[in-house]
Amino acid sequence: MSQEITHQKINDAFHADESDGDIGLCGWILTGFSWLLILCTFPFSLCVCLKVVQEYERAVIFRLGRLMSGGAKGPGLLFVLPCIDKFFIADLRLITFDVPPQEVLTKDSVTVSVDAVVYYRVSNATVSIANVENAHHSTRLLAQTTLRNVLGTRNLHEILGDRESISTFMQ
């Protein structure tokens, strides 16, 4: 019963925090000034307002600090209001990096130097941009920590003999 109430409170707090399109009076005034600026400098403002998003990228737009509805935009041509909108680009391609050699103390107290290669892909650009400050750096640190934690619970003969099962477990 209390777990259902807790889930309901979390859901209510989440939905209360979502942008419902109401930017307030000050937001409407700033948006009006931005449109006026675009109209006054029309031919030149297109260079600032139009952005191109590649096929393998998605753009996440924040208007006055709030996440715009509709999720990530792209690929194609994108219209951004100057001074009001901020946009961030997320790369959806497969990204690889190598984990630097880690000194790991195994379960049987043997020091082993291990390195690894990590492959990852961003599946949801909006979550990647809005919830994590630097997704690439966070993934790198998570890979290093996971490598040390998993290998620290194994004996040396398990590490040498069961590389496939360790790899599957880490995935």
| Three-class secondary structure assignment of the chain | CHHHHHHHHHHHHHHHHCCCCCCHHHHHHHHHHHHHHHHHCHHHHHHHHEEEECCCEEEEEEECCEECCCCCECCEEEECCCCCEEEEEEECCCEEEEEEEEEEECCCCCEEEEEEEEEECCCCHHHHHHHCCCHHHHHHHHHHHHHHHHHHCCCHHHHHHCHHHHHHHHC
Instruction: Tell me the pLDDT tens digit for each residue of 105-119.
Output: 888 888 888 888 888
Instruction: Show pLDDT as tens, one digit a residue, over the chain (171 residues).
Output: 444 444 444 444 444 444 445 778 887 888 888 888 888 888 887 888 888 989 999 999 898 888 888 888 889 898 888 888 888 999 999 999 988 888 888 888 888 888 888 888 988 888 888 888 888 899 899 888 888 888 888 888 888 888 888 888 887
Pick from 45, 139, 127: nearest CA to 98:
139
Domains of the chain: 1-91 (no CATH), 94-170 (3.30.479.30)
Count of positions (residues) in the chain: 171
Residue whose tokens read 């753009």: 59
